[in-house]
A = this chain, B = another copy of it.
């Protein structure tokens, strides 16, 4: 959302966060598909001209089901992240840090191999990072220790590029950079994904006029969200009113 607001300030964004059922990172494909289709239906009913799946787990597991179901273009974050990684690597060795579900899906491997079959890809799940981020421990020795455990096996493979394969992880960019050092390029999909969205809207003649006044509307499926305060502060993203939408009400 922060990258989209920055690149496309004239667009109206309706963001829905499934706070009643997060985290998705340890759930099965069936469940992530079901939840993603429910969320997609809320966005489609709200008149979305394009749907962004701003979650790596949902992108990795539910993109085909979403694309089949909705008439709108559906844009995930795996493909933009894969392109950024392939563009960044010099040694051809890319590491992927993601949720258990994203890593198990092999979605990054598939996307990267389609771009460049020569690249070697090494993946490791980082299941404690989302809880640590949600607690706001962005700059904490415990978080540093956990990051070290997750990235050391990847560093041992000689990677020169590390994909932050979960939309939470860029909040740990500084902490991860401290652990991996300056020679590893950290890649996330936010700005690449925003460029994808811009291109799709332009090519379909669907972009808002530059003079339009964009905005951000936020809905959550549960009104308790400790993380919202962390995200607001870390992303410097102004969010005014929050709606609560119980999905079964739809």
Task: Name A131's contact: one of B27, B128, B221, B246 (CB within 8 Å).
Answer: B128
Query: Is A28 a contact partner of B223 (Cβ separation < 8 A)?
Result: yes
Q: With CB as the reference atom, state the residue of chain B lying closest to A225.
A: B26
Contacts of A246 in B (CB 8 A): 30, 34
A1-54 contacts to B (CB < 8 Å): 19-21, 26-28, 30-31, 34
Asked whether A222 is an interface residue with its Cβ less than 8 Å from the other chain, the reply is yes
Q: Are A20 and B27 in touch, CB under 8 angstroms?
A: yes
- Judge whether A222 and B27 touch: CB under 8 Å: yes
Is A92 close to B, CB under 8 A?
no
Chain B contacts for A28, CB-based, 8 A:
222-224
Chain B residues near A20 (CB, 8 Å)? Answer: 21, 27, 31
A27 touches B101 (CB 8 A): no
Nearest Cβ distance between residue A41 and chain B, in whole angstroms? 13
A155 CB within 8 Å of chain B:
no
In the assembled complex, how far is the CB of residue A88 from the closest CB belonging to chain B, in whole angstroms? 30
Interface check A146, CB cutoff 8 A? yes
Q: Which of A177-195 contact B (CB under 8 A)?
A: none
Apart from A30-B223, A142-B142, list 17 A-B contacts with CB within 8 A: A20-B27, A20-B31, A26-B224, A27-B222, A27-B224, A28-B224, A30-B246, A31-B221, A31-B222, A31-B224, A34-B248, A100-B226, A127-B226, A128-B128, A128-B131, A128-B132, A142-B145
Nearest 5 pairs of A and B residues by beta carbon: A131-B131, A28-B224, A31-B222, A20-B31, A21-B21
In the complex, 25 of the A-B residue pairs with CB atoms within 8 angstroms, ordered by the A residue number, are A19-B27, A20-B31, A21-B21, A26-B224, A26-B226, A27-B222, A27-B224, A28-B222, A30-B222, A30-B223, A31-B221, A31-B222, A100-B226, A101-B224, A127-B131, A127-B134, A127-B135, A127-B226, A128-B128, A128-B131, A131-B131, A141-B145, A142-B145, A142-B146, A145-B145
